[in-house]
A and B are shown apart, each in its own frame.
Chain A
Amino acid sequence: MRETQLLKDHFREARIFRHRVVVAAVLLIGLMGILVARFHNLQVVHHDGYVTQSDRNRVHVQVIPPTRGLIYDRNGVLLAENVPSYTLSIIKERVENLDKTIGVLKDLLPISDDDLEKFNKSIRQRRRPFEAVPLRYRLQEDEIARIAVNEYRLAGVEVEAQLVRHYPQGELFAHSIGYVGRINDRELAAFSPEQYERYSGIHITGKIGLEKYYEDILLGTAGHQNVETNARGQVLRVLDRSDPIPGANLTLHIDSKLQRATYDAFEGQRGAAVVIDTQTGGVLAMVSTPSFDPNLFVTGISFKDYRGLNNSLDLPLFNRALQAQYPPGSTVKPMLGLAGLHNGIIDSEYAIRDPGYYQLQGDERVHRDWKPRGHGNHVNLKLAIAQSCDTYFWDLAFRTGIDRMHNFGTQFGLGRRTGVDVPSERSGIWPSRTWKREARGLAWYPGDSLNMGLGQGFVLATPIQLALMTSTIANRGELKKPLLVNTIDGTALEPESHNESKVLPEHWDTIFDAMEAVVHGGGTAKIIRKGTKYQLAGKTGTAQVVAIKQGEKYDSEALAERHRDHALFVAFAPVVNPRLATAVLVENGEKSSKAAKIARKVLDQWLLNEKGRYVAAAPPISPRASVGGEG
C-alpha cells in the first residue's frame, strides 16, 4: 500500500466531494436556466419575427408573364403570334457547380458558344435571386427527353414551356411590325422604377416597328403567384395566385396580300414602297427591301447572323420606307405646280418656250433639261408635269421663291415626321431660309430655289413622306396622319387629319389632269398605261446619287451600279374619288419606269379582283375587324 492511501481521510474527501457536487449542481441549473431563457427569447419574445422569416424562406413570389398581344392584318391574318417553345433555363442558386452542369448539358445537346456567351451575359443581368436564366431555346423533343433522363445530375436545370413570339410572315413585315428581343443592358438602365417593377419576370421587349411603338399596349400586366418552395427552390405547392392580364391585340390597316404583292413586285431590287388608304390615312402596305427574318431576333440572334445582316452592303436592317432620306426629284413637281397656281404665279394656260436649258439672269451656270432639245415652244403646266419638264419648273421655282415653296410644301408633310406609328422615322429636309442659315450658315441663293424646284439640292424626303404628299394631293389638301394600326382590342384609333390649304377646286383639277397625263397622256410613265382598268395619276422622278459636274454628260454606263440614279414614282388611283396613294423607290433603279411598274402592280392588286376586273368598293373588311370596330 502506498503511503498516500494510508493517509487518506475518506471522511474529508466525501465532504469535499459533496461540496463540489452542490457547486456543480448550482452551475448546471444556472446554465440550464440560460438555455431555457434563450429558448424563451427565441420562441416567445421574438416569435413573430421568426415566423415572418420562416415564411419568407419558404414562400416565393413567382411572376406569371402575360401573353403578349397578337397582331392581325385587316383581314384577320396573324402577323405576330405567340407559340409554345421549350426553353432550357438554369437557376444559378440551385446549381452546385455551374461549369460542371454546363459540361454535362453540352454532352446531351448542342450548346453553341453563342448560347453560352448570351447566357453569361444574362446571368450578370439577373434582377433577383432564383431567377431562371435561359440557356437554349427551341428544344427538340429528343433533347427534352435526354434532359429528363439525366435530371438527377442536373440540379438547377429546368425545361420550361414558354410562349415565344413568332412572325409567320417572316421577312415580309420585318420593318413594319418589327420584332421583340431580350431586354438589354441599355434598356434596363433606362427603366423607370415602375417599368422595372412591371417587367419583373419578363425578359423581352419590342425592339423596332410596331412591337416597339405599341410596347405598353402589347405587353399586358404580369400576374403573380405565391408558391411554397423548399431550400433547393423546388415549388411544392401554389398558395395563391393573381392571373396575368394579356396584352391588347392590334388589328392593322395593313393587308398582307397587298404587302406580299408589293414586296414581290420589287423582284429583289433594293428600295421601298408605302401604300396609303387615302380615305382613312391607314397604311395598307409598307415595304423595305431587302428584308430579313425577324424571328432570328426573338430569342437572340447569333453573332454570326447579326454580323451578316449588319455588314451587308444592301443594308437589310435599314427601314428604307421611314429612315432612308432621298432627294425626291421630280415627284415634287405636281405639288410645286399647285403652289404656283394657288399663288397666282401661273395659271393652267401659262406656257413657256423650252430651249432645253435654263439660265438665271447674270449667272453663268446653264441648267440643262433632261431632254437636250427641250420640250417644245409651248410648254404649259400639264405638259410640264406629264413630261417632267425641268425648264418649266426652274422658271416656276425661281418665280415662286423659297418662302412660298417652303410654306406650301410643309402643308403636304414634307420636312417633318409624318407621325406614323412605327418608331425611328426621319424627318427629311424641306429647306427654308432659316434652315439653310442654321444648318449651313449661308444665305439662300436663287440657285438653291432652282434645285428645290426639281426636288434636288438640299431636299430630302423619306418614301412615306412622298406617299403622304401624294395622298394629300389625292385628298385635295387634307393631310391624314398615316397609321398602321386600325384597332386596339377592337377600339378604333381616332384618325387625325387637318386641311390647311385653301387651294381652289379648279387648281386641284388641273393637277389631277396633269398627273393623269403622266400615265394616260403620253407622259413619262406611259409605259404602264397598257391594260389599265382604271385611271391613275402619277409622277415620275429620279434622284441623283452622284452630282454631275458642269458640262459633263451623264453616262450611266460608266457609273458603278450603286452610283446610278434612284428611280421614283408616286401615284394615286382612281383619279376620280381616289382610294389609295403610293410612293415607290427603287434604289439605283436609274429609270423611273422601274418604280412606275411596281406602283402599277401595287395599285392593280388593290383595285382589281382575281379576274382582273376593277372593283369599285373597297375589299370587304374581315369579320374580326368589323367586330372590333363595334367593340
Chain B
Amino acid sequence: MAGRDFLRRMPEASRELRRPRSVWQKLHIDLPLLILLLMLTAYGLLVLYSASGQEVHYIKRQGIFFLLAYGVMFTVAQIQLHVFQRWAPWFYLAGVGLLLLVMFFGIGAKGAQRWLNLGGFRFQPSEVLKLAVPILLASYLSSRILPPRFTHVFITLVLITVPTLLIMDQPDLGTSILIATSGIIVLFMAGLRWRYILGAFSLLLAGAWPMWHFVLRDYQRQRVLTMFNPEADKLGAGWNIIQSKTAIGSGGVSGKGWLQGTQSQLDFLPESHTDFIIAVLAEEFGLMGVLLLMGLYLLVIARGLMIALYAQDTFGKLLASAITITFFVYVFVNIGMVTGLLPVVGVPLPLVSLGGTSIVTLMAGFGILMAIGTERRRVTR
C-alpha cells in the first residue's frame, strides 16, 4: 500500500526502479558526486600548492591522504544501510569512550588536548563523532514516529550534548559546534516542530549572556571580540582577519594570478594552507575563482540533497541530508570566518585545506552518501 503510494508520488523513482542497474550502481558509486568531488580535489590541490609556498612535500602528503580517503569512501559505499543502523549505538559509544580517554591520556598542541597517540599515529577521536552523531540520531529518530515527540527530542538533545561538551572541553570549539550542528540538522530534517524551534531560539538568546561569561574561554571570547573589531589589535588577534580580508579584497574580480598573490606568497597571510586557504584562492583567482569554488560546493550539496530526497527510507533520508548540510556548514563557517563574518574558530575548508584524518572522515561521509544513493531498491521493507 505504502509502496504504491510512493510509486505514484514519485514517477522518476519508479523509472529508476525499472531501469537496469548500471555498472556504477553495482559498484555503489554515485558518478555525478564522484566527478564533483574529484574536481574539488583537483582545484584544492592547485590552491594548496600555491598556499603552502609551492612545497611539493605538502602536495604529496595531501595526495596520499586523498588516496586513502577515496579508498575509505569506496569501501564505506559498499556497506549496506542497515549495517550502519545496527552499529550506530556502538559506534557512538566507542566515540564517546575515546573522548573520555583523550581527557585523561590525550596529547595536544597549543593548549588543546585533542589527540590520542596510537603508536606513532595520532588520532583525533572527535572525528569519529562527526559521523557517529548523525548516524545514531538518524537511526534513533527514523525508528520513531515523525515529527518527533518531546521525549524523543529531549533524548536526542542529550545524545548531542554529551560529545559536544566533551569536545568543547578539549577545547575545540569549532569541532564541537559542527558536531552539535550535525545533530540538530538531523532533528530539523526529521520534522522538528516549528514551535520547538522558536522556543529553542528564544532560549538561546536568553542563554547567550551566561554562555559568554561562564562557558567561553578567554581566547574564544577574544576571537569573538576581534571579529567585531579586528583593527583594535592589528599585530595580535586581529592580524589574521585583517590579512585575510586584505588578501581577498586585493584579489579583485580576476585575481592576481596563480602563485602571484603577494599576501600569501610573502607570508603575510597566516595559516594560509590550512584554515585561511580560501583567502589565497580569492587573492590569486579573484571573485571568479571564488564563484567557481562556491558553484562546485553548491552542486555537491544539490546532489547530496537529491540523494536524500530519493533515499528509500527515512533513515537514509535523514542521514544523507545531515551529511550534506553538515558539509555546507563546514563551508559556510570556514568562509564566514575567513571573510570576517564569523568569529575565528578552527574549521578547515573541506577538500581544499591541508588536512589529515579530517579528509578521511569527510570522504567516509560521502561514502555513506553514495551507499544511500546506490542502495538496491526495495519496494517494501
By a beta-carbon cutoff of 8 Å, the part of chain A in contact with chain B is 2, 4-5, 7-14, 16-21, 24-25, 28-29, 31-32, 34-36, 38-40, 42-44, 46-47, 49-51, 53-55, 57-58, 228-232, 236
Bound-state CA distance A433–B350 (Å) is: 96
Quick check: A47 and B321 within 8 Å, CB to CB? no
Q: B188 interface residue, CB < 8 Å from A?
A: yes
Q: If the complex has contacts A21-B189, A31-B332, A236-B266, are A44 and B252 also in contact, measured as CB distance less than 8 A?
A: yes
Shortest Cβ gap from B88 to chain A (Å): 16
By a CB distance below 8 angstroms, the chain B residues around A47 are: 249-250, 252-253
Q: B309 interface residue, CB < 8 Å from A?
A: yes
Q: B303 interface residue, CB < 8 Å from A?
A: no
Chain B residue at minimum C-beta to C-beta distance from A47: B252
Bound-state CA distance A53–B283 (Å) is: 13
Interface residues of B in 127-149 (CB under 8 A from A): 143-147
Shortest Cβ gap from B281 to chain A (Å): 11
Quick check: A2 and B143 within 8 Å, CB to CB? yes
Interface residues of B in 318-340 (CB under 8 A from A): 318, 321, 325, 328, 332, 335-336, 339
Q: B230 interface residue, CB < 8 Å from A?
A: no
Bound-state CA distance A31–B342 (Å) is: 13
* 9 tightest Cβ-Cβ pairs between the two chains A and B: A50-B249, A54-B250, A16-B191, A230-B266, A231-B267, A50-B250, A42-B249, A231-B268, A43-B287
Quick check: A21 and B309 within 8 Å, CB to CB? yes
Q: If the complex has contacts A34-B341, A54-B247, are A44 and B253 also in contact, measured as CB distance less than 8 A?
A: yes
Choice from A4, A46, A57, A232 contacting B263 with Cβ under 8 Å: A57
Give the dominant DSSP class at B's interface.
helix
Chain B residue at minimum C-beta to C-beta distance from A57: B268
Quick check: A38 and B249 within 8 Å, CB to CB? no
By a CB distance below 8 angstroms, the chain B residues around A236 are: 266
Choice from A7, A18, A42 contacting B145 with Cβ under 8 Å: A7
Choice from B191, B252, B339 contacting A35 with Cβ under 8 Å: B339
By a CB distance below 8 angstroms, the chain A residues around B308 are: 17, 21
Bound-state CA distance A42–B290 (Å) is: 12
Q: If the complex has contacts A50-B245, A57-B246, are A10 and B332 also in contact, measured as CB distance less than 8 A?
A: no
Interface residues of B in 232-262 (CB under 8 A from A): 243, 245-253, 262
Quick check: B309 and A43 within 8 Å, CB to CB? no
Bound-state CA distance A9–B1 (Å) is: 11
By a CB distance below 8 angstroms, the chain A residues around B341 are: 34-35, 38
B4-15 interface mask toward A, CB cutoff 8 Å, 1 = contact, 0 = none?
011001000000
Listed residue (A7, A31, A57) with the most chain B CB atoms within 10 angstroms of its CB: A57
Bound-state CA distance A35–B262 (Å) is: 23
Bound-state CA distance A553–B263 (Å) is: 89
Quick check: B262 and A54 within 8 Å, CB to CB? yes
Choice from B191, B262, B282, B301 contacting A39 with Cβ under 8 Å: B282
By a CB distance below 8 angstroms, the chain B residues around A55 are: 262
Quick check: A28 and B301 within 8 Å, CB to CB? yes
Enumerate 25 A-B pairs (CB-CB under 8 Å) in ascending A order. A8-B145, A11-B2, A12-B146, A13-B314, A16-B191, A17-B189, A17-B191, A17-B309, A21-B321, A24-B321, A24-B325, A28-B298, A28-B325, A28-B328, A32-B297, A35-B341, A36-B290, A42-B245, A42-B282, A42-B339, A47-B252, A49-B249, A54-B246, A230-B267, A230-B268
Interface residues of B in 163-206 (CB under 8 A from A): 185, 188-191
Q: B286 interface residue, CB < 8 Å from A?
A: yes
Quick check: A25 and B305 within 8 Å, CB to CB? yes
By a CB distance below 8 angstroms, the chain B residues around A21 are: 189, 305, 308-309, 321
Bound-state CA distance A29–B325 (Å) is: 12
Listed residue (B9, B251, B266, B325) with the most chain A CB atoms within 10 angstroms of its CB: B266
Interface residues of B in 296-319 (CB under 8 A from A): 297-298, 301, 305, 308-309, 313-314, 317-318
Listed residue (B248, B249, B286, B341) with the most chain A CB atoms within 10 angstroms of its CB: B249
Q: B39 interface residue, CB < 8 Å from A?
A: no
By a CB distance below 8 angstroms, the chain B residues around A38 are: 336, 339, 341
By a CB distance below 8 angstroms, the chain B residues around A12 are: 146
Interface residues of B in 30-55 (CB under 8 A from A): none
Shortest Cβ gap from B348 to chain A (Å): 16
Chain A residue at minimum C-beta to C-beta distance from B341: A38
